[in-house]
Amino acid sequence: MKANVRAQSFAALGVGAIFGFGLSLSGMLDPARVRGFLDIAGHFDPSLGFVLAGAVAVSGLGYLISRRLPRPALDASFHLPKRKDIDRRLLIGAAIFGVGWGAAGLCPGPAIASLALGIAPIFLFTAMMLLGVAIHDHWPETWRQRARKDADAQA
């Protein structure tokens, strides 16, 4: 079965809108509230724990249902990651993400949803986030090319 790009796009738009509404309704667009949830040693705000529990429940149910399906509804096959190892790059990336999330009180989903609020610092955060994505996508290839040139020069 060939993927229907238009149906996939409308499904992504609908699910993204529901996700953004859920982020807004739950308070995840408020960086101070997110930092309060992450501040377990200070002024801890446990209210986002309910959001976490609901998200894990819905995600877990969706995962269980998807494991029983022969293929997704709008594609020919599931596209699951092939790598399952935990390496240094994954740990460093997770640490950087966690520090950024704790410092800013935003991660990519809420940051993009918060753009609709028109708050200048959110635009700056999102621009810097996109710059980080571009650097990530460009620099590793540059490093690999440089390493290949160095290896060829030594050979």
Could you list the pLDDT tens digit for every one of the 155 residues in the chain? 566 888 999 999 999 899 888 888 888 888 888 888 888 888 898 988 998 899 999 999 999 999 999 999 898 888 888 888 898 888 988 998 888 888 888 888 888 888 888 888 889 999 999 998 888 788 777 776 776 676 667 65
Structure confidence at residue 61 (pLDDT):
96
Question: Is residue 141 domain-resident?
Answer: no
Query: Quick count: other Cβ atoms within 10 Å of Cβ 38?
Result: 17
Q: CB under 8 Å, gap of 24 or more: what pairs does 84-89 form?
A: none
Task: Determine the pLDDT at residue 155.
Answer: 59
Collapsing DSSP states into helix, strand and coil, what is residue 52? helix
Does residue 27 fall inside a structural domain? yes
- Determine, yes or no, domain membership for 153: no
CA angle 94, 98, 99 (to 5 degrees): 120
What are the φ and ψ backbone dihedral angles of 82, each rounded to 5 degrees? -85, -35
Q: How far apart are CA 105 and CA 39, in angstroms?
A: 11
What is the extent of the structural domain holding 32? Answer: 5-84
Residue with tokens 């028109």: 118
- Domain for residue 154, yes or no? no
Q: Has residue 136 been placed in a domain?
A: no
Specify if 65 maps to a domain.
yes
What per-residue confidence (pLDDT) applies to 15?
Answer: 92
> Is residue 132, in this structure, part of any structural domain at all?
no
**Residue 58 forms part of a structural domain:** yes
User: What's the pLDDT at 154?
Assistant: 65
Domain count, the chain: 1
Q: Are the C-beta atoms of 97 and 38 separated by less than 8 Å?
A: no
Give the pLDDT confidence score for residue 2 in this predicted structure: 60
pTM for this entry: 0.69
What is the pLDDT, as a whole number, of residue 123?
Answer: 92
The per-residue pLDDT for 65 is 94
